[in-house]
Amino acid sequence: MNWIIGGIFGVVRSIMLFVVVTDGRYFGKRLTYWLYNRFGAAMFGSRSEAARWRQLAEALAWRGDETILDLGTAVGDLPLTLAALPDFSGFAVGLDWSPQMMTTAWQEAARRGVNGRTAFGVADAREPLPFHNDSFDIITCLGLLETLPHPNQILHEMVRILQPDGKLALSLYRGWSALGASLSLNWYQKQLQPLGFDLQIIELRRNHDIVIGQKIDD
Ligand X SMILES: C[S@@+](CC[C@H](N)C(=O)[O-])C[C@H]1O[C@@H](n2cnc3c(N)ncnc32)[C@H](O)[C@@H]1O
- 143-162 residues in contact with ligand X (CB under 6 A) are 143-144, 148
Strand order in the sheet with 118-122: 118-122, 91-96, 67-71, 136-141, 162-173, 208-215, 197-205
Cα distance between residue 64 and residue 85, in whole Å: 8
- Which of 50/196 has CB closer to ligand X? 50
Residue 45 sits in the site that holds ligand X (CB under 6 A): no
Residue span binding ligand X (CB under 6 A) among the ranges 108-116, 122-130, 160-168, 191-199: 122-130
CB-CB contact of 145 with 170 (8 Å): yes
Q: How far is the CB of 95 from ligand X (least distance, A)?
A: 6
- Which of 188/215 has CB closer to ligand X? 188
Beta strands in the chain (DSSP E): 67-71, 91-96, 118-122, 136-141, 162-173, 197-205, 208-215
Distance of CA 17 to the CA centre of its chain: 18
Residue span binding ligand X (CB under 6 A) among the ranges 9-17, 92-100, 156-164, 175-183: 92-100
Residue 212 sits in the site that holds ligand X (CB under 6 A): no
Residue 126 sits in the site that holds ligand X (CB under 6 A): yes
Binding residues (CB under 6 A) for ligand X: these are: 36, 40, 72-74, 96-98, 101, 124-126, 142-144, 148
